[in-house]
Structure 1
Amino acid sequence: MFTITPAGTMNRLFVDGPDASDYPRINDYFNRAYQRDPENFSREFESLRREHEAFHSLQSIAGYCCAKPFGYAGDFRLIDRLYTHYIGSGVHIARWDAFAQAQPAAVAVRNRKTYFIDLMKANLPANVLNVASGPARDVLEFFGYCPDAAVVIDCLEYDAHAINYAGSLLKGNCRVRFTQQNILTWKAEGTYEMVWSSGLFDYFTDGVFVRVLRKLLGCVAPGGQLVIGNFSDENPNRAFMEVGMQWFLHHRSPEQLIDLAKQAGAEAWNPEVKSEPAGVNLFLHLTKPA
């Protein structure tokens, strides 16, 4: 067992599952062990993962993310589990899922859905490009708030399973159109008053980030805005995500996001970085000169 925390204490938590009062201790355990020796901690954790279903079962949040049933971490089903406060069955899984759902990173994912809806309600753009739209629950809930909104939302998504899932949620809403294509090879047709991408760019290296951002700049209509989400480099749950869930992202600071925007040629677009209330998900805002 790990030496950074008393073995008996952590054994109890992993066997029984944590209560809310245990959450600070668990986060401290992950953060200190990962900071001390990330490679060794990750390797040792694999034996613990095999012992406890909350870390290997598809019915749990951490286990599902680690298994990557669609080939990648953070897929549409995982994101929708976070959006909908999913809790798996069984006491052990339920306690660990409650822990995962209570963490700032999970709260931030839910907040970015609200962030999109608030942006849409404030601006009511005529057309929107939603890049890597995933489950599209943010789109669904926006139309729940604004059922008569005169807006067309084009959802660009690589995963056909995600498109099918989102389509089942939206039930044939004719104002939402799906395109299955890789953003790296996709070619834009026309421009949009708003381009939104909440959860794609933190999977990109800096070079790919700049390349895709440069492509999306050409999709924005004069006076329109481009908004890109990226996890902050101050994410307090990074250790749990990377060890417990095998979910790796390129975390960035506001300064890094602005620098990447400038590298892509958006210096005149008034680059600005905001965040959702948890401060974990950052949003790069770019406004095209009118």
Structure 2
Amino acid sequence: MGLPSAYGAAERVAGSAADKAADETSARATVALADLRALGEAYRRAMETAAATPETRAAMEVFVAEFSAAVQRCLTEGAGDEEIAAAVAPLRDALGSSPLIRRGQRQDRGHPGDFEMIEYLLSGRNDAEPGTLAWQIDSYLQDSAITRQHRNKIAHQAGLIRRTLSGTSADGGGRRVLLVACGGAADLRAVEPELFAAGDLVVLNDVDADALEYARAALPPATALHTAVEPGNVLQALPALERHGPYDLVLAGGLFDYLPDRYARLLIAYAMTRLCVPGGDFHFSNIAAGNPFAHLMKYLADWPLIERTRQDVEDLVRAAAPHQTARLSVGADQTGYTLLARLTRAAAPVRSG
């Protein structure tokens, strides 16, 4: 009888200690959330009276740093996403005066980072009224590293397409390029039409049919003659995309920012076994871990991203296609905010006679 009694007493002590620890964690989270709410309210009030001044840019940099630190503290103390969202709701609403942030919040096309948002970022324009604080906020964001990385990706991808069209196809026929989740195909629009030859083909894929229509209308006519479109979620459209291949180059710019590991591995495996020709390349980008704008994007602009490290990307490839990948390299754009991965499909094994 003594052993069960002692065991029960120990269990009650352990349970009491666990409850106490949970209460302490909850108290710390409550304090962190209160501090975040106060910070947001202070900035919201400041926005009501502030005007655009030359000093506003420096103030925005301070705001991004302070807001990010306050959110991170909430997460560290165990606060949930819904609690954080509720704490910053007044500030989020106030920042809706910024056309750029409002685009993210509204998600008129049903998902974050749609082609219209990306085209707006690439244009560098500012739709806010000049002289207002909203105009200054968008000026800051359009010149920030988190926006420059989008432009850097497009320039990088355009260079890859040029290089492919300037070389020979791995299978000796026309050069074939696949642009996955291409949006408005800004990278292809930057490529000189004279690089195309008879038999060359670029296949455009996007989940948004309007994005593909926009891309086809915006392409130079000579380039459009060498394009085909395959609308739909890329994972569902893979068989249709494969029928146009195999490809010398497959590009997925930005898609991995939204792909959980399971689906990222699936796409990598398919690219390395079915889409790329032996010796062909699969290039994709992914937002790098440690993005200082991540909390602002998620909680104020409704634009969450899946961040990864270089090791994360290498682990995805090793898990998905270790024997089919002849070469893997992971670099970064000039801002360091975007990882640039290159996978080369292994050559087909030589059969002996």
Deviations 1:99-136 (A, max 9, x none): 22122211111110011122223343521000001011
CA–CA distance in structure 2, aligned partners of residues 222 and 53 of structure 1: 49
Kept after mapping to 1: 8 A contact 2:180/2:206: yes
SS at 2:266 equivalent = helix
Note the C-alpha offset of 1:4.
Answer: 6.5
The aligned counterpart of 2:236 is: 185
The aligned counterpart of 1:122 is: 163
Question: How much is the aligned-residue C-alpha RMSD, in angstroms?
Answer: 2.2
4+ residue runs of structure 1 moved beyond 6 angstroms? none
Kept after mapping to 1: 8 A contact 2:39/2:67: no
Note the C-alpha offset of 1:216.
Answer: 1.9
The aligned counterpart of 1:194 is: 249
Kept after mapping to 2: 8 A contact 1:156/1:180: yes
Pair 1:33 & 2:70 matched: yes
The aligned counterpart of 1:147 is: 194
Kept after mapping to 2: 8 A contact 1:203/1:249: yes
1:15–1:159: structure 2 CA closer, same or farther, 3 Å change rule? farther
Kept after mapping to 2: 8 A contact 1:4/1:33: no
In structure 1, runs of 5+ residues without a counterpart are none
The aligned counterpart of 2:287 is: 231
Kept after mapping to 1: 8 A contact 2:328/2:344: yes
SS at 2:108 equivalent = coil
**AA of the residue aligned to 1:77:** E
Indicate the percent of aligned positions where both proteins have the same amino acid: 22
SS at 2:147 equivalent = helix
| 1:157-196 → structure 2 map (5 Å cutoff) | 157-170=206-219, 172=221, 173-186=224-237, 187=239, 188-189=242-243, 190-196=245-251
1:16–1:127: structure 2 CA closer, same or farther, 3 Å change rule? farther
Give the number of the structure whose alpha-carbon radius of gyration is greater: 2
1:120–1:112: structure 2 CA closer, same or farther, 3 Å change rule? same
1:198–1:15: structure 2 CA closer, same or farther, 3 Å change rule? farther
1:17–1:33: structure 2 CA closer, same or farther, 3 Å change rule? farther
Note the C-alpha offset of 1:82.
Answer: 0.9
SS at 1:236 equivalent = coil
Note the C-alpha offset of 1:8.
Answer: 5.0
Kept after mapping to 2: 8 A contact 1:152/1:176: yes
Match of 1:49 among 92, 100, 104: 92
| 1:1-290 → structure 2 map (5 Å cutoff) | 2=36, 5=39, 8=42, 11-13=45-47, 16=50, 19-38=56-75, 39=81, 40-54=83-97, 60-90=99-129, 91-124=132-165, 126-143=175-192, 147-150=194-197, 151-170=200-219, 172=221, 173-186=224-237, 187=239, 188-189=242-243, 190-217=245-272, 218-267=274-323, 268-290=325-347
In structure 2, runs of 5+ residues without a counterpart are 1-34, 76-80, 168-174, 348-353
Deviations 1:133-172 (A, max 9, x none): 10111110123xx533334211111111111221221154
Note the C-alpha offset of 1:23.
Answer: 2.7
SS at 1:260 equivalent = helix
CA–CA distance in structure 2, aligned partners of residues 254 and 262 of structure 1: 12
Note the C-alpha offset of 1:66.
Answer: 1.3
1:16–1:152: structure 2 CA closer, same or farther, 3 Å change rule? farther
Note the C-alpha offset of 1:70.
Answer: 0.7
Note the C-alpha offset of 1:11.
Answer: 3.1
**AA of the residue aligned to 1:177:** A
Higher mean C-alpha displacement, 18-27 vs 257-266: 18-27
Note the C-alpha offset of 1:235.
Answer: 1.3
CA–CA distance in structure 1, aligned partners of residues 87 and 51 of structure 2: 19
1:104–1:14: structure 2 CA closer, same or farther, 3 Å change rule? farther
CA–CA distance in structure 2, aligned partners of residues 211 and 134 of structure 1: 21
Kept after mapping to 1: 8 A contact 2:268/2:321: no
1:273–1:123: structure 2 CA closer, same or farther, 3 Å change rule? same
- The TM-score with structure 1 as length reference comes to 0.90
Higher mean C-alpha displacement, 160-169 vs 119-128: 119-128
**AA of the residue aligned to 1:198:** G
Kept after mapping to 2: 8 A contact 1:103/1:237: no
CA–CA distance in structure 1, aligned partners of residues 316 and 184 of structure 2: 28
Which structure's relative contact order is higher, taking Cα pairs within 8 Å and 6+ residues apart? 1
Kept after mapping to 2: 8 A contact 1:83/1:110: yes
